[in-house]
Amino acid sequence: MSTVIEHIETLLVDLPTIRPHKLSMTTMACQTMVIVRMRHSDGIEGIGEGTTIGGLAYGPESPESIKRNIDIYLAPLLVGQSSSNIHQLRSRLNRHARGNMIAKSALETALLDAQGKRLGLSVAELLGGARQEHLPVLWTLASGDTAKDIDEAQLRLEQRRHCDFKLKIGANSLDQDVGHVAAIKQALGDRASVRVDVNQAWDESTAVRGIQALQDAGIELIEQPIPAREHAGLIRLANRFNVPMLADEAVQDARDGLDLVSGGFSGAFALKIAKSGGIHGVLELAHVAQAAGVGLYGGTLLEGTIGTAASLHAWATLPEMTWGTEMFGPLLLKDDIVIKSLNYTEFGVTLPQGPGLGITLDEEKLAYYSRQ
C-alpha cells in the first residue's frame, strides 16, 4: 500500500530582524514566514517554507494569502494523494491553480523533505547529488547609512563571513544612490566585490545614467534596474554596458529565461525557488541559462532556515555559480525556529547534512513565534 498525504498544516511565524532592512519598495523590521507541516500515512512529516518580502510590497503573494490559499485551495489537491510521485503532484497543483508560486514552492519543499527522510537521502541526493558542499554567500548592506554600511562590511570581512556585498538602491535620488555606493566601493577597494540591486526602481533613461556612473565606480553587477516586464529594455542595457545585468523579477521560470536569451540577453539570472514554484522549476530555468551561457546567481526572498536550506540543496547540484549566492536570510533574523542553525563560515555556508533538508524544528520556538 502506497504512502499518502494525510494532513497539511500552515503556520504564520513572525521573526524580528537584527536591524531595519531597507529596500527600494519598503523597509523591513520583521520577517513573516509561512511554515508548512505535511504529515504522511507512514508517520513521516515533511516541512516547507513560503516567504516573501514586505507583505505585498514585493509581489502578488503575501504571507497571509500564501497561508490561506494553501489551506483552502492547494492542500485539498494533495491530501489523500500518493506521497512519492512529486512530479505528478506538481502537475496536479499547476493544472488546478494558477500562479501562487511561493505557496507551491513551500509545498514542494515539504514533499521533498518527507521523501528524503523516507529514503534516508538528502534533498540534494534526491536531485542527483551535490557537486559542492560549501557555497559562497554575499551580505546585503541595507542600513541606508554610508558610514554604517562601510563599518558593517569591514566587520564581515574581518570575521571571514562575507567578501561580496550587495547594496539595495532606488529609493533615493540617482546622485545620492551612486554617491553612497561609490563611497562604499572606494572604502573596500579590491578586498570585496560590490554589486547593486535597484529592485525595478528606474526607467530606462535613468538606468543608462545610473549604470554608467556605477560602472565607472567599479561596481561588478547591476540587478534588475528597470521593471520586470521590460525585457527589451533590459536586453538593451545588457548589450550597452560592460558591467553585467542580473535579471531577477524579469525571469521567473524557464519560459522567461528562454524569452530573454532568444532576445539577445547576456548577463546572469537570479534563481529563486520561490518565484519558480519550487526546486524543480528553478532547476529547469538554471538549465536554460547554462545552455545559453548565462551566468547563475542563487537568490533569496529572505527566507528563514527552512527555505534557505531548500535553496542550498538545489544550488549544490549545479556547477559552480558565476556570481555565488545570497542565502543570508537566517543571519538577518534575531532568532530561529530550528534546533541547529546553518553553519556560516569562510565567506559561505555549509550544505546541511542528513535526510531530507537536514533541518529539525524547535517546537518551543515555533510555538513562541507563531501568530495566534
The model's pLDDT over 66-125, given as tens digits with 9 standing for 90+, comes to 999 999 999 999 999 999 999 999 999 999 999 999 999 999 999 999 999 999 999 999
Does the pLDDT value for residue 22 go beyond 80?
A: no
Report residue 1's pLDDT band, with 50, 70 and 90 as the boundaries. Answer: low
- Predicted TM-score of the model (pTM): 0.95
Q: Are strands 45-51 and 5-22 parallel, antiparallel or unpaired?
A: unpaired
**CATH number of 126-350: 3.30.565.10, 3.30.365.10, 1.10.10.410, 3.20.20.120?**
3.20.20.120
Question: Which residues are the active-site residues?
Answer: 168, 326
Closest CA to 72 of 89, 51, 96, 44: 96
Cα(33)–Cα(144) distance, integer angstroms: 25
- The pLDDT tens digits of the residues spanning 122-154 come to 999 999 999 999 999 999 998 888 999 999 999
The proportion of the chain whose per-residue pLDDT surpasses 90, expressed as a percent, equals: 92
> In angstroms, rounded to a whole number, what is the distance separating the alpha carbons of residues 96 and 77?
8
| pLDDT, mean over the chain | 95
Question: In angstroms, rounded to a whole number, what is the distance separating the alpha carbons of residues 134 and 363?
Answer: 28
Q: Which CATH number fits domain 5-121+362-369: 3.40.470.10, 3.40.50.360, 3.30.390.10, 3.40.640.10?
A: 3.30.390.10
Q: How confident is the model at residue 164 (pLDDT cuts 50, 70, 90)?
A: very high
Q: pLDDT-derived band of residue 19, with 50, 70 and 90 as boundaries?
A: confident
Same fold, 5-121+362-369 and 126-350: no
Q: CB under 8 Å to 285, separation ≥6 — which residues? A: 251, 252, 253, 254, 256, 257, 269, 271, 276
Strands (E), the chain: 5-22, 27-40, 45-51, 134-136, 139-141, 164-168, 193-197, 222-223, 245-247, 267-271, 295-298, 344-345, 348-350
On whether the CB atoms of residues 188 and 165 are closer than 8 A, the answer is yes
- Give the residue extent of every domain in the chain: 5-121+362-369, 126-350
pLDDT at residue 199 above 80?
yes
Looking at residue 56, its pLDDT comes to: 83
Give 25's pLDDT tier (boundaries 50, 70, 90). low
